[in-house]
Structure 1
Amino acid sequence: MKLPRRQFLKLSGTAGLAGFAGVTSARGTDQAESLRLFGDVAVSGALEVSTQGNYAYVATGDGLSVVDWTTPGRPNVVGTMTASAPAGGILDAKVDGDLAALASNGGPGITLVDVSDPTTPTEYGFVDVGHHIHNVFLHEGYAYLTVNESGSGPFSEARTTIVDVSDPTAPTTVGAYRLKDDFPGYAAGGVNPCHDIYVQDDVLYQAFWDAGVVVADVSDPTDPQTITQFGAAPMADTPVGDSFPTERYLTAPGNAHYVQPSPDGSLVYVGAETFPDGFVSNPDNDDYGGIRVFDVSNPASPMELARIDPPNVDAFRTSHNFDVTANRLHASWYDGGVTVHDVSDPANPETLSGYHADGSSFWGAQAARGFTVASDIGGGLVFLHEDTGQQRPPAFEGTARPTTPGIR
């Protein structure tokens, strides 16, 4: 663990949660049918969703769709665009103000899009960083990109690349956080890609798969500095050798897939995309990944408080993407559906409600305007509410439900 070289107050200045002991699991995970469908809209190729105001921005594989949900019961697709080459395999879309960024999992960078008029998203251009980008995050004029090149071994050049996009017509790469700089053992381990990232209050949270989470100070984006690291799997720094260990890569422990802090930064939630041992040969093993809650109020000593388990439904249900507010966590679980959890007591999270529909598989869930906005893979968006709506599946059908292990 490495402490910051700069004076750092954002995390350590928050109210501590010391005194919580042990790790508990969320209660009530069998409440699978209590979220109600308030509205739905078909979005061809739907993958990740980001919300801003009355609009939802959806990655569609080849570009972006914009949904106006001013009236949640009657959402409409009001804008679409197809990204120009060399973009491709767009799994992730993020928005900040009038700018959207699309991550190309099948292309060497990101596409920047003008969404000042959401009905007419217009491409600024492509930022080529020479490697596919699984996820992107926008924060105060900078784009943060997951980059996973192999030099001396698999993922040995895992990093977050930082691009100044304050002028989206002239983006410039200004810095990078490299796992190997402060954690060379993890970089050499071969199972530690930078899978997803989140930025809040000049703090960068990075999910490095089996290496867990690495938190960095990016108040100077040209010179990121390590704050802390936690949640690594026991063998994360053991080199994989000549043969890539697919089983080890996909199964527990480890697999830090998505990360997000609480609004005050005192907690960090870490989701594991974990598949059952021997998934292909033994799909009935229920060792699916959940969401762990860490107290980071003292960056020198992060402490795991609890684990939120997958919903108790008979389906493919490992953790995927989620969203955190001051007292709620909204989570997607692929075929397992969508759940909402009370995290006002972070050491004892409680499942409040859930939505599960046969034929649906959920990529992401966002909290917005009192609703849970979730993306049904390949099909569209659902707008869920705990009190108002119907207990029915969406009117559209998804087209890309996961049937075998894969890093998504």
Structure 2
Amino acid sequence: MHTIYAQNSQNTTLLGRFPFGDCRAVDVVGTLAYLNSGIYLRIVDFSDSAHPVELGRTVLPFPASEIAVNGSFAYVIQDDIDGFLIIDVSDPTNPAQTGFLNSVSSGSEMAVSDSLVYVADDEDGLQIINVSDPSNPTETGFFDTGGTASDVAISGSLAYVADGAEGLRIIDISDPANLTEIGFLDTEQYTHTLAVSDSLACIVDWSDSLRIVDVSNPGNPMELGTAELPEFVIDLVISGRFTYVADGFGGLRIVDINDP
């Protein structure tokens, strides 16, 4: 894990690192990083960026491919093993498993909103899990996207799904038991990663193109521009006028999307 200072996006600086081996998933809340290392979920305090410190860890039944933290709980999935795991992280020094659901077959990515977790479940579409009772998570909604749901982002009452060869799908989630598609964009490529901020969505496909999409009218998303990236994108996040891209072997790339 690396900590990077990026106040000036032209001159990012490596502040610190936490060497622990292979990491496939990480989420950050405040000054704590929740990350996967082999079969462990590790919680690392990086309040001193130059000297991050592990606070606690727990053994997982499978290596995590995605971790999402909300409040006192971490949610864990693996992209080729059935299962959705809930870890109580209220005490960072002693994380403990509190719930499990085996209906997630091959979840790639997920997003959390209040007591609902939205899982991009590959060929099984978009799955919604109710985690209001962390000891007994239950499936509360499902939508067959028609493609390969590879990533999901939530904005208000809408879910944005990177649906593989089927492009970008926009789904009304205001009634989790009755999901409805309201918008679609054919990217003509295999769409696998996305992020949403306000009226813009940034999506990435297998051609390594970053596509900037206007979603101010969710029923009619419009592509505004593209940026070509040299490597296969692993993940991305939007903050203000910039998109921060984990660009595979190409490292961290920062794209100015102020003028799409």
Instruction: Report the TM-score when normalising by structure 1.
Output: 0.59
Would you say 1:375 and 2:252 are equivalent positions? no
Aligned to 1:319: 191
Maintained 8 Å contact 1:214/1:226: yes
Q: How many angstroms does 1:196 deviate by?
A: 2.0
User: Of 272, 282, 292, which aligns to 2:163?
Assistant: 272
Aligned to 1:303: 180
Aligned to 1:140: 71
Would you say 1:176 and 2:100 are equivalent positions? yes
User: Of 230, 247, 272, which aligns to 2:143?
Assistant: 230
Alignment root-mean-square deviation, CA: 2.3
Maintained 8 Å contact 2:167/2:184: yes
Decide whether aligned partners of structure 1 residues 217 and 71 sit closer, same or farther in structure 2, where only a CA change above 3 A counts. Answer: same
Aligned to 2:8: 71
Which amino acid in 2 is paired with 1:78? L
| Secondary structure of 1:133's aligned partner | coil
Q: How many angstroms does 1:166 deviate by?
A: 1.6
Aligned to 2:212: 340
| Secondary structure of 1:119's aligned partner | coil
Decide whether aligned partners of structure 1 residues 387 and 298 sit closer, same or farther in structure 2, where only a CA change above 3 A counts. Answer: closer
CA deviations over 1:216-243 (Å, ceiling 9, x no partner) = 22222222233211125xxxxxxxxxxx
Which amino acid in 2 is paired with 1:99? L
Aligned counterparts of 2:24 and 2:78: Cα–Cα separation in 1: 15
Would you say 1:82 and 2:41 are equivalent positions? no
Aligned counterparts of 1:200 and 1:103: Cα–Cα separation in 2: 22
| Secondary structure of 2:84's aligned partner | strand
Would you say 1:210 and 2:126 are equivalent positions? no
Aligned counterparts of 2:234 and 2:3: Cα–Cα separation in 1: 17
| Secondary structure of 1:362's aligned partner | coil
Decide whether aligned partners of structure 1 residues 103 and 68 sit closer, same or farther in structure 2, where only a CA change above 3 A counts. Answer: same
Decide whether aligned partners of structure 1 residues 202 and 300 sit closer, same or farther in structure 2, where only a CA change above 3 A counts. Answer: closer
Aligned counterparts of 2:123 and 2:249: Cα–Cα separation in 1: 29
CA deviations over 1:183-216 (Å, ceiling 9, x no partner) = xxxx7xxxx3122221111211112222211112
| Secondary structure of 1:378's aligned partner | helix
Which amino acid in 2 is paired with 1:117? D
Aligned to 2:232: 361
CA deviations over 1:363-393 (Å, ceiling 9, x no partner) = 22211022111121112212211357xxxxx
Which structure has more relative contact order (CA 8 Å, sep 6+)? It is 1
Maintained 8 Å contact 2:57/2:94: no
More strand by share: 2
Q: How many angstroms does 1:169 deviate by?
A: 0.8
Maintained 8 Å contact 1:131/1:148: no
Maintained 8 Å contact 1:320/1:363: no
Q: How many angstroms does 1:291 deviate by?
A: 2.0
Aligned counterparts of 2:79 and 2:39: Cα–Cα separation in 1: 11
Q: How many angstroms does 1:147 deviate by?
A: 4.1
Aligned counterparts of 1:223 and 1:176: Cα–Cα separation in 2: 7
Would you say 1:385 and 2:256 are equivalent positions? yes
Aligned length: 260
Q: Which has the larger radius of gyration?
A: 1
Q: Where do 4+ consecutive residues of structure 1 move more than 4 Å? A: none
Aligned to 2:134: 221
User: Of 210, 221, 234, which aligns to 1:349?
Assistant: 221
Q: What is the 5 A alignment of 1:17-166?
A: 64-83=1-20, 88-104=21-37, 107-147=38-78, 155=81, 158-166=82-90
Unaligned runs of 5+ in 1: 1-63, 150-154, 180-186, 233-252, 274-287, 389-408
Maintained 8 Å contact 2:153/2:196: yes
Which amino acid in 2 is paired with 1:77? L
Which amino acid in 1 is paired with 2:14? V
Aligned counterparts of 1:330 and 1:356: Cα–Cα separation in 2: 13
